Chains A and B, each alone.
Chain A
Amino acid sequence: MQTDTQTLRDERDWKQWFAENGARFLLCARQWTRTKADAEDVLQEAFIRFWRHQRHLPGDPAALLVTSIRRSALDHVRRETRRTTREQASVLLDGEPVSWFEPADSAEDQMLQDALEALPDAQRQVVALKIWGELTFEEIARQLETSLNTVASRYRYALTKLRETLTTAYSHER
């Protein structure tokens, strides 16, 4: 779902663009946050910054927004780690696991989420940014500040591992 910067010129377009792309950006935000509420806070902050200051910049707007999301998420994590233990505990209690996909709470959905969560963070981020963020490998490499080869390798390892996990899960299901 590539979007041209030309289509984002109108101030009022943000609602439509957010409605069309909000879900995948929220999933991207969840790669760097612990809870859905945190991810929504991060998405909100990043989207406002993007829409005000970055939507006219050259390049793929989605990639720019994902960059903004990642920065906001890292800031959010830093702020969170400064809090007291008590506050952290309350955040964890508030942040009950919420399904990443819809239809929510279906068996397949939960199976996939479990398989994704079982992946190492670095591999899961590449899969999420590639499949649902619809970024290219070059863009992902820039986002994660790593090499193109590393990103492609992580993606291959992740898909292989997901295939094994999901195949086993489906066979048990049947």
Chain B
Amino acid sequence: MNVDTDFSELRDVENALRRFSPRPPDARCADRIAAALDAPAQHAAAANIIPFRRAFAWGAGILAAAACAAVIVANRDFSPPPAATFSANSAAPANSATLAAAAPAAAAAPAELPDENSLAPLAPIAPGTSAAVAAAIAQQRRRVPSSIEPLGLRRAPDGRFYQPYRFRYQNNANAAPTRAPAAPAPAAGDEIYFVKIDLI
């Protein structure tokens, strides 16, 4: 490092400056320092207070996170998912029967479709499946729901609650050209999905 630190030509200025002595601090300043340094017990308490507060904050945060995790685990349903859908169609039974035969998941559904107000053959879609997903499943079957209507909460014999949604369908005109000519046309009518509700 090439630094010119030779100030010999300015030495006289340096010496002139060194002749001046800075003013000492006020005596009260030393007294305040003495009061602070000569109080070891207070100092120890003051020094420990901040780590203690930090530990308390961290501990509270960890406990809260653990409690949240415990609640989530306790409410999670680890049982295997039941049959994918339950179809009940009182308005157009023929169409629903056609769809149930076409869909593998729906094949597990009972042949005799119950009234929509009956809970006997509850075969809800997978736990946690939302109405939006159910709508997507329906769309995969090349049907477009024209409306989704939530119905009254129902309780199954096993004690669980289910939220039924009535899906009203109309014919999907866009899907028609992709189907083979011999295939049946997309169905129209109603279908009810039961979504399991976990009550805490």
Taking beta carbons and an 8 Å cutoff, which residues of A are in contact with B? 11, 14-15, 18-19, 22-24, 26-27, 36, 40, 43-44, 47-48, 51-52, 98-102, 104, 108-109, 112, 127, 131-132, 137, 148-149, 152, 155-156, 159-160, 162-163, 166
Contact = CB atoms under 8 A, between A and B. Distances in A.
For the complex of A and B, list the 10 residue pairs with the smallest distance between their C-beta atoms, beginning with the closest: A27-B22, A23-B24, A23-B22, A159-B10, A101-B20, A40-B29, A26-B25, A159-B13, A163-B13, A102-B23
Interface stretch (B31-39, B82-90, B113-121): B31-39
A101 B7 contact: no
Contacts of A14: 33, 37
Interface residues of B, number: 29
A161 B18 CA distance: 16
24 contacts: A18-B30, A18-B33, A19-B30, A23-B25, A40-B25, A40-B26, A40-B29, A44-B36, A47-B33, A48-B33, A48-B37, A100-B22, A101-B22, A102-B21, A102-B23, A104-B23, A127-B17, A148-B3, A149-B1, A152-B4, A155-B7, A156-B4, A159-B14, A163-B12
Given A163-B10, A163-B13, A131 B18 contact: yes
A22 B10 contact: no
Given A26-B25, A101-B23, A102-B24, 10 more contacts: A18-B30, A22-B30, A23-B23, A40-B25, A102-B23, A109-B20, A127-B17, A131-B14, A132-B22, A163-B13
A24 B30 contact: no
Contact of A100 (B1, B5, B23, B34): B23
Contacts, number: 93
B17 A131 contact: yes
Nearest to A22: B25
